[in-house]
C-alpha cells in the first residue's frame, strides 16, 4: 500500500510539473515575440532615421557649396576685372587695388608665379597649411579649392589661392583669407535629422574634424560627402539603436508573429488541459493497516559539504590600491595573487555586462608579474572571458595587441616606474581606459560579491611584438642615420625599443637593456634627473647624437642631448605639436597642468588649439576621445599620438617619431639646434614630498582651502597651479605613489626664486613639518 501511495504521489508530481511547461514556454515565447516586435519597430525606425540623416547631410553639402560660391564669386570677379597690364606693373599698386576691391577679405597677399619665396620660408612662422595650399594650387587641374587655415590666435578663416594671368603659367598668385563665420553658421543651421553632422577637412589619412553638431554618441560613417569647390567634406553620424536581430524588418516581423502565436497557443493549452491529475488512477479504499504501515520514519537532516573558505575575503582587500587611473599596491601586502584573481573576476563581470568576451593580458619584467598575470587570467576566465596572453611585453605593446586582435580590451600587469616591490594593473575595457569612478566600481563589485564565476573562458598565448615592430617601421623612417643611446633601465622596453629604433634606420647603443626585475643599475623613471646620469655620460663617451630613456613599462620617454642637457617632455611636445599640426591644421593638442607656460603659445603659433588638462594617462586619453585631439603629452613623459597611431601613450613610438623629426630636418640642423628653437625659461624638474599613504590627498584639500596667492591666476583642475605673467608654480597629489608633486617655471632665476618663496610660505602655513625639496 505504501508503495502504491508513493507511486501515486510521484505521478501527481510529474504531471503537475508537466502541466507547468506550457505556462513557462508560452510566457517565454510571448516575451520573445514582444522583443521581436520591438526590434521590428527599431529596424523600421532606423531606416527612416538613416534616411533623415543622409538627407540632412546632402542638404549641408549643398548649403556649404552655395555659401562657398558666394564667398568665392567676388574674389574671382576682382581678379577678372584686373587690367592685364597691371599684372606686369608695380606689385604694391596691384596689391592695393585688390585690397580695395575685396573689403570683406581679412588678408590679401601676392606671391610670385613660381612661388619661389614660399619654398624658402620658415614654415613654422609662415604657416604649414598656408604653404601646402599654395603649392597644391600650383598643381591643381582646374579651379583651386577653398579650405580653412588657422590665424594663429585660435581663429579659423576660409582661404583661397588664385592664379593671376594664364592658369598654366601665372604671373603671380593671389592669397585671400575670408571670414569662416558665415560658413560655420550655415553649417550649424542645418538640422542633423536625429544624428550628427561633422564638417571635416583633409583626406582619409590626414582628416581633421572642424565642426560638429547633433547627437554626440551617433556612430560616424567612415565615408563622408565632398563639398564641391573645397577640401571640405560633410560626415554623418548615424543614430545608434540596440538591434540584435538581422536588419531586415520582414524577418523580424515573421519572428514576432511566430513568438506571439506560439506563446498564445501554449497558454491556451495550459488553460484547457487534456488530462487532469485526478484521472490518473482509480481511488482505493484506505485500510487502517495501510496507514500504520505507511507511518513515515523521522526525517534525517540533509548533509552539506563544508565550503572551502576563500584565501582572501573581499573585506580584507585594501581599497586604497584602487587609484585614480590604475590598480596598484605592494606585492605580498596589499597586492596578492588572490586579489589579482578577484580583480580578474570583477573586470570579467564588467565585460560580460557590456557584451564583451575577449581580452588581452600582458606583463612587464617585474619578478611578481608571472604570478599576478596568471591569477588575473584565472579570474577573467572564471567570469567566462577568453584571454589572449601576450606574455612579457611593454604596456604600449599590450595596448597595440588590443587593436591588433580587435578585442578593445586589455590589462597590462605593471608597476610602471614604481619601486620593485610594487606592481599593478592598467585596464582598458571596450576601448575605454578605466579611471576614477570606473576603477572604484571594480572594488565595489568585489566588496559586494557581485562577481561572475564558474565560467570556462579560453586561453591563447600569442606573440604580438613582431607585428608591433613591423607596424612602426613600416610607417616611421629616419631620413639619415642618427647614433642614439637607448637606456631601458633594465625594464621590459629593453626587449623591444632597440629593435624599433634600429628598424627606422638609427644606430643604437644599448644601455641597461637586459630585462631584470631587480633594476640593479638605476630606477626606470626618466622623470628623475638622477636616473639619467648614466645616459648623459654614455652619450658623451660614445659621441652619440642623442640619448633616450624609457620607464619600467615603456609608456614614457626621456631625452638628453649630446651636450648633457635634459630636454623636459613639455619641450619635446612642442616639436611633436609642430610636426602633427603641419598635417593637421587646427587640431587640438592636450597637455597636463605640469607643463611649461610657453607650450600654449607654441601650439597656437603652429596653428593648433591648446588645451590644459589633468595629469594621468587614462584621464588624458578620455579627454582626447572627447575633443578628438590628435596629440597629447604630459610632463611625466607620456605622449599620445592619434595622428598616424592609435591614441594611447607609447614611449617607444614617441621615441621613433622624435628621431624621425630630428633626422628629417630640412635644414640639416643638429638635435641641439632644433631643440634650441623650443623656448624655455628657468624651471625645475618634478619635485616630490613623501607623505603617508592617503595623507597627500588630504593635504591638497587643506591647501586648496587655505592657500592665498594674491593676484595670481589659479587653476585647480588637478591640485593648485598659480600663474603670474613671468612664471608659475604647481603642487598636486600623485595618483601613483603617496607623494606631493611640485614644479616651478619662470622667465628668469629671480622670478623662479620669488615664486618658490610664495609657495614655501603657503605650504608651511598648512603643515610646518613638511620637508621641502627646494
Residues annotated as catalytic (active site), given as ranges: 328, 416, 638
The set of residues, in sequence order, having a beta carbon less than 8 Å from that of 36 and lying 6+ positions away, is 245, 252, 253, 255, 256, 259
Residue pair 60/269 in contact (Cβ under 8 Å)? The answer is no
Measure the CA–CA gap between 576 and 438, rounded to whole angstroms. 31
Burial class (CB in 10 A: 0-12, 13-18, 19+), 658: buried
What grid cell was written down for 431? 576601448
Measure the CA–CA gap between 216 and 192, rounded to whole angstroms. 11
Q: Which of 490, 435, 455 has the alpha carbon at shortest distance from 614?
A: 435
For residue 640, list its beta bridge partners. 632, 649
How many of the other CB atoms lie within 10 Å of CB of 537?
A: 15
Residue pair 425/397 in contact (Cβ under 8 Å)? The answer is no
Residue pair 29/263 in contact (Cβ under 8 Å)? The answer is yes
Whole-number Cα distances in Å, 630 to 311, 372, 586, 589, 646: 46, 34, 10, 6, 10
Q: Quick one: which H or E segment has residue 171?
A: strand 170-179
Whole-number Cα distances in Å, 604 to 609, 611, 621, 631: 6, 10, 21, 14
What DSSP character marks residue 748?
S
- Pick left, alpha or beta for residue 163 (phi over 0 → left; psi -120 to 50 → alpha; otherwise beta): beta
Q: Which of 202, 195, 193 has the alpha carbon at shortest distance from 219?
A: 195
Three-state secondary structure readout of 604-647? HHCCCEEEEECCCHHHHHHHHHHHCCCEEECCCCEEEECCCCCC
E strand segments, 620-726:
631-633, 639-641, 682-683, 687-690, 713-715, 720-724
Residue pair 10/16 in contact (Cβ under 8 Å)? The answer is no
Q: Which of 347, 354, 352 has the alpha carbon at shortest distance from 412?
A: 347
Residue pair 469/400 in contact (Cβ under 8 Å)? The answer is no
Q: Which of 339, 511, 346 has the alpha carbon at shortest distance from 441?
A: 346
Residue pair 607/128 in contact (Cβ under 8 Å)? The answer is yes
Q: Which of 204, 223, 201, 226 has the alpha carbon at shortest distance from 212?
A: 201
How many of the other CB atoms lie within 10 Å of CB of 136?
A: 14
Measure the CA–CA gap between 230 and 460, rounded to whole angstroms. 49
DSSP structure string for 271-340 = HS-SS-GGGSS---PPPHHHHHHTPPPPPPPPP-PPPPPPSS-GGGS-GGGB-SSSEEEEBTTTB-HHHH
For residue 360, list its beta bridge partners. 388, 410
How many of the other CB atoms lie within 10 Å of CB of 58?
A: 14
Three-state secondary structure readout of 108-166? EEEEECCCHHHHCCCHHHHCHHHHHHHHHHHHCCCCCCEEEEECCCCCEEEEEEEEEEC
Residue pair 329/422 in contact (Cβ under 8 Å)? The answer is yes
Measure the CA–CA gap between 84 and 91, rounded to whole angstroms. 13
Q: Quick one: which H or E segment has residue 672?
A: helix 671-675
Measure the CA–CA gap between 575 and 174, rounded to whole angstroms. 31
Amino acid at each position: 500500500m505504501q508503495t502504491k501511495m508513493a507511486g501515486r504521489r510521484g505521478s501527481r508530481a510529474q504531471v503537475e510539473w508537466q502541466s507547468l511547461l506550457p505556462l513557462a514556454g508560452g510566457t517565454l515565447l510571448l516575451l520573445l515575440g514582444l522583443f521581436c516586435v520591438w526590434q521590428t519597430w527599431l529596424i523600421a525606425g532606423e531606416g527612416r532615421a538613416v534616411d533623415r540623416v543622409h538627407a540632412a547631410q546632402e542638404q549641408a553639402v549643398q548649403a556649404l557649396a552655395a555659401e562657398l560660391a558666394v564667398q568665392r564669386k567676388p574674389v574671382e570677379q576682382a581678379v577678372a576685372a584686373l587690367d592685364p597690364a597691371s599684372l606686369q606693373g608695380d606689385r604694391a599698386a596691384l596689391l592695393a587695388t585688390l585690397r580695395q576691391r575685396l573689403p570683406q577679405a581679412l588678408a590679401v597677399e601676392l606671391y610670385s608665379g613660381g612661388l619661389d619665396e614660399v619654398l624658402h620660408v620658415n614654415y613654422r612662422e609662415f604657416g604649414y597649411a598656408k604653404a601646402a595650399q599654395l603649392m597644391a594650387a600650383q598643381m591643381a587641374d582646374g579651379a583651386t579649392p577653398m579650405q580653412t587655415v588657422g590665424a594663429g590666435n585660435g581663429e579659423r578663416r576660409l582661404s583661397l589661392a588664385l592664379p593671376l594671368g594664364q592658369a598654366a603659367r601665372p604671373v603671380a598668385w593671389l592669397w585671400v583669407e575670408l571670414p569662416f563665420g558665415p560658413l560655420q553658421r550655415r553649417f550649424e543651421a542645418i538640422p542633423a535629422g536625429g544624428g550628427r553632422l561633422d564638417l571635416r577637412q583633409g583626406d582619409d589619412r590626414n582628416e581633421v574634424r572642424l565642426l560638429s553638431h547633433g547627437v554626440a554618441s551617433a556612430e560616424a560613417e567612415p565615408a563622408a560627402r565632398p563639398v564641391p569647390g573645397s577640401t571640405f567634406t560633410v560626415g554623418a553620424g548615424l543614430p545608434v539603436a540596440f538591434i540584435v536581430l538581422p536588419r531586415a524588418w520582414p524577418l523580424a516581423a515573421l519572428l514576432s508573429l511566430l513568438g506571439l502565436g506560439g506563446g498564445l497557443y501554449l497558454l491556451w493549452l495550459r488553460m484547457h488541459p487534456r488530462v487532469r491529475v485526478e484521472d490518473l488512477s482509480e481511488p482505493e479504499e484506505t485500510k487502517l493497516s495501510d496507514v500504520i504501515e505507511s507511518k513515515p520514519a523521522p526525517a534525517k537532516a540533509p548533509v552539506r559539504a563544508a565550503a572551502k573558505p576563500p584565501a582572501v575575503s573581499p573585506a580584507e582587500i585594501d581599497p586604497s590600491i584602487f587609484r585614480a587611473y590604475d590598480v596598484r599596491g605592494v606585492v605580498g601586502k596589499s597586492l596578492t595573487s588572490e586579489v589579482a584573481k578577484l580583480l580578474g573576476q570583477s573586470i570579467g563581470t564588467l565585460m560580460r555586462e557590456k557584451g564583451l568576451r575577449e581580452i588581452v593580458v600582458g606583463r612587464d619584467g617585474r619578478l611578481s608579474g608571472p604570478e599576478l598575470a596568471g591569477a588575473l587570467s584565472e579570474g577573467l576566465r572564471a567570469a567566462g572571458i577568453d584571454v589572449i596572453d601576450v606574455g612579457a611585453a611593454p604596456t604600449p605593446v599590450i595596448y597595440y595587441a588590443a587593436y591588433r586582435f580587435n578585442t578593445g580590451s586589455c590589462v597590462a600587469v605593471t608597476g610602471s616606474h614604481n619601486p620593485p616591490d610594487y606592481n599593478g594593473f592598467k585596464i582598458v575595457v571596450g576601448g575605454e581606459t578605466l579611471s576614477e569612478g570606473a576603477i572604484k566600481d571594480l572594488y565595489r563589485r568585489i566588496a559586494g560579491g557581485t562577481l561572475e564565476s564558474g565560467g570556462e573562458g579560453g586561453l591563447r598565448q600569442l606573440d604580438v611584438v613582431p607585428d608591433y615592430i613591423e607596424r612602426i617601421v613600416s610607417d616611421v623612417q629616419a631620413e639619415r642615420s642618427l647614433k642614439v643611446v637607448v637606456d631601458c633601465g633594465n625594464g621590459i622596453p629593453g626587449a623591444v625599443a632597440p629593435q624599433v629604433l634600429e628598424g627606422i634606420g638609427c644606430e643604437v647603443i644599448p644601455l641597461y637593456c637586459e630585462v631584470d626585475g631587480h633594476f640593479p643599475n638605476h630606477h626606470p623613471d626618466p622623470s628623475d634627473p638622477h636616473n639619467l646620469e648614466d645616459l648623459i655620460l654614455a652619450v658623451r663617451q660614445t659621441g652619440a647624437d642623442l640619448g633616450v630613456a624609457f620607464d619600467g613599462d615603456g609608456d614614457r620617454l626621456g631625452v638628453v642631448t649630446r651636450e648633457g642637457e635634459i630636454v623636459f617632455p613639455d619641450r619635446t611636445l612642442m616639436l611633436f605639436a609642430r610636426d602633427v599640426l603641419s598635417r593637421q591644421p587646427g587640431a587640438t593638442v592636450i597637455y597636463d597642468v605640469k607643463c611649461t607656460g610657453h607650450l600654449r603659445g607654441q601650439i597656437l603659433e603652429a596653428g593648433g588649439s591648446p588645451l590644459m588638462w589633468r595629469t594621468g594617462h587614462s584621464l588624458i586619453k578620455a579627454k582626447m576621445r572627447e575633443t578628438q585631439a590628435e596629440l597629447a603629452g604630459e610632463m611625466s613623459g607620456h605622449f599620445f599620438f592619434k595622428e598616424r597611431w592609435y591614441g594611447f601613450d607609447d614611449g617607444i613610438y614617441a621615441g621613433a617619431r622624435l628621431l624621425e623629426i630630428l633626422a628629417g630636418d630640412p635644414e640639416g640642423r643638429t638635435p641641439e639646434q632644433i631643440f634650441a628653437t623650443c623656448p624655455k625659461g628657468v624651471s625645475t624638474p618634478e619635485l616630490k614630498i613623501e607623505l603617508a599613504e592617503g595623507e597627500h590627498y588630504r593635504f591638497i584639500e587643506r591647501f586648496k582651502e587655505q592657500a592665498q596667492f594674491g593676484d595670481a591666476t589659479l587653476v585647480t583642475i588637478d591640485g593648485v597651479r598659480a600663474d603670474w605673467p613671468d612664471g608659475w608654480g604647481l603642487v598636486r597629489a600623485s595618483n601613483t605613489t603617496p607623494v606631493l608633486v611640485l614644479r616651478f617655471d619662470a622667465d628668469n632665476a629671480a622670478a623662479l626664486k620669488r615664486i618658490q618663496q610664495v609657495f614655501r610660505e603657503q605650504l608651511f602655513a598648512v603643515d610646518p613639518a613638511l620637508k621641502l625639496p627646494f
